[in-house]
A and B are shown apart, each in its own frame.
Chain A
Amino acid sequence: MNRTDKLLRVENLAVEFPAGNGGRVRAVAGVSFDLVRGEALGLVGESGCGKSSLARAIMQLPRPTSGTVALDGEKLTALDGEILRSLRPRFQMIFQNPAASLNPLRTIGRTIEAPLRTMGRHDAAERTRLAREMMVAVGLDPLQFYERRPSQLSGGQCQRVSIARALMTAPQLLVCDEPVSSLDVSIQAQIINLLREVQTTRGLSLLFISHDLAVVRHLCDRVAVMYLGKLCEIAPVGALFSAPHHPYSRALLAAIPRPDPKHRPAASDLLPGEPCSPMDSIEGCSFRARCARATEQCAVHQPELREIGAGHRVACHHPV
């Protein structure tokens, strides 16, 4: 795999927020990974583990505290504001809350063409034509929906509008921050299939954030598991789902509901306690307090990601 195959390189990314009492919350604490062109990478982890902060840091919304994000060799983290703005069309984002991600006063058609207007591309008539074309591509009838407003749309339709808007700039990277978690299950499937379709037809790279492992398994090529601001395991979907090596990944997989009322996850797979607060600075492994395999070593040394199989890396001193 040569260097140009890597569309996105994230190195040592950290995001900190000031906390009320003068302390700082480390939402993302040194994350590194690559994303290959045309690949879909799933990012999973429980609520509050820093998934959304990581996504926004990659989007430079706001810029991360430290670390680098490079898209196609351009270090986004080092660019000044104006140049960054001119590159923004190349990486787009879809948000969790479908209704809140659309301006309530603007018609659907205008919302979809807004990015072109921002970029100053094409004249008004051409923008309208392209927006209508994109609406067809995401499964919205332009005749019916072009003049509607977000309040007249369902959640799933709003999310289609979001996808259309993000695709208008012909991006290379699409960051999806839990795009289906607020939708009904049947609608979720439609949106996932739409994302899959646009990903393959347009050769997009996808960073897909979710806490729904089944969705990730269906859509993604690789999965990264995140816990308290750090990646603990990253592997091809098949490898991770068949043989998770990090104790946390294992617990996460064990918690997937199965369509079998008699099935109960084995007690040994369930995690005791709650994640620590990201405000505490933790020596060693941040997962050790909830880990059955923790030893002296885990309390002292922070485990780094290391390769244990083909493309399979895990940050654990005592992998399963």
Chain B
Amino acid sequence: MDRKAGGVFWLAVAWLVLVAALAVSAAWWPLPAPDQIDWVRLTAKPGDGGHLLGTDSLGRDIAARLLFGARVSLFVGFLAPCIGLLAGGLLGILAGFYRGTFDALIVVIIDTLLALPRLVLLLVVAFVFGSSLFSLTLSLGIVIAPSVARIVRALTIRIAEREFILAARAAGASDAAIILREILPNVLMPMLVYMLVITALVIVAEGSLGFLGLSVASPMPSWGGMIAEGRDVLAEHPHVSMIPAAVMFLTVLAVNLLGDRMRGWLDVRESQL
């Protein structure tokens, strides 16, 4: 499959690897601490006074904040879909496999949650759990879960009616064995691709939440928070917002490109059946 992957795909992979490596190594770079204030250089331009990417309106080093902010974006972007996949996937598989009353109940719950405006749901979770990295991840995970459950349920129903499930039953497999060995792997493959789409959405969602003050609490840096903080000086010092925005844009683009490519591989596999 590597032969078909173009240069753009590898650029995307390289960018994501770079962001991940920088997020992990953020503390080891010879940069000022992300919350250290340089009182003489507020909103410094990139390159000014040793600040590689300049400073924000409080004189904090943008490069350092980007690196530490990457931790938040990647943490949320990875874990929130995992929480959504775990919770939604579990309910979706059970509903799709057992059908009946349980299924009907799950479908009602899914439809109800999907009918609620996402933002209201996020506000409620943030209100209950406070605004920490943990609650941000959890709330985004909860928001994702219903749509994951719906897709997993549909996939499960489609797979459960295939004859290899009957064959497993005929050999005496228990429900648990059928769900774990026959259905789960077949649901997981397409879901992993969907998860990349969700990751992209979650990273953008963190950005939007930053504007509402619902992302991680200051002074902890996050890309969304940085974009939001630069809003006040957007006219005079656009780089304060634009640098984190560009980094977020590139990251989301890279994730989407990766997802598209993987969907391509999956479609080929599916069509061979």
Which residues of A approach B to under 8 Å, CB–CB? 56, 59, 61, 85-86, 88-89, 91-93, 95-97, 99-105, 114-115, 118-119, 150-152, 162, 165-166, 169
Contact = CB atoms under 8 A, between A and B. Distances in A.
Given A104-B186, A151-B272, A93 B164 contact: no
A56 B167 CA distance: 11
A88 B170 contact: yes
Contacts of B177: 118
Contacts of B162: 100-101
Contacts of A89: 171-172
Interface string B220-242: 00000000000000000000000
8 contacts: A91-B170, A104-B186, A115-B172, A118-B171, A118-B172, A151-B273, A152-B272, A165-B171
A203 to B, nearest CB: 20
A151 B186 CA distance: 14
B150 to A, nearest CB: 23
B168 interface: yes
Interface string B139-176: 00000000000000000000000111011111111100
Contacts of B168: 103, 114, 118
B186 A114 contact: no
A85 B168 CA distance: 11
B269 interface: yes
B189 interface: yes
A62 B117 CA distance: 42
B260 interface: no
A250 to B, nearest CB: 34
A97 B163 contact: yes
Max chain A C-beta neighbours (<10 A), residue from B166, B167, B186: B167
Contacts of A152: 272
Interface residues of B, number: 21
A61 B171 contact: no
The 10 closest A-B pairs by CB, nearest first: A151-B272, A88-B172, A115-B171, A101-B163, A95-B163, A85-B172, A100-B163, A103-B164, A100-B162, A118-B173
B167 A151 contact: no
Nearest to B171: A115
B182 interface: yes
A140 B181 CA distance: 24
Nearest to B172: A88
A305 to B, nearest CB: 29
Given A118-B177, A150-B273, A100 B170 contact: no
Nearest to A168: B171
A165 B273 contact: no
Nearest to A96: B163
Nearest to B174: A85
Contact of A101 (B167, B173, B272): B167
Contacts of B166: 56, 61, 93, 95, 101
Contact of B273 (A104, A115, A119): A104
B187 to A, nearest CB: 11
A302 B189 CA distance: 53
A61 B172 CA distance: 11
Contacts of B269: 104, 151
Contacts of A162: 167
B170 A119 contact: no
B271 to A, nearest CB: 9
B49 interface: no
A162 B163 CA distance: 11
A119 B171 CA distance: 8
B186 A105 contact: yes
Contacts of B173: 118
A99 B272 CA distance: 10
B186 A102 contact: no
Given A89-B171, A101-B163, A165-B171, 10 more contacts: A59-B170, A61-B170, A88-B170, A95-B163, A104-B273, A114-B181, A115-B171, A118-B168, A118-B171, A119-B171
A165 B185 contact: no
B155 to A, nearest CB: 13
Contacts of A150: 273
A92 B163 contact: no
Contact of B167 (A93, A104, A119): A93
Given A101-B164, A105-B189, A92 B272 contact: no
Nearest to B185: A105
Interface string B229-273: 000000000000000000000000000000000000000010011
A226 B5 CA distance: 55
A102 B171 contact: no
Contacts of A169: 171
A56 B185 CA distance: 26
B186 A92 contact: no
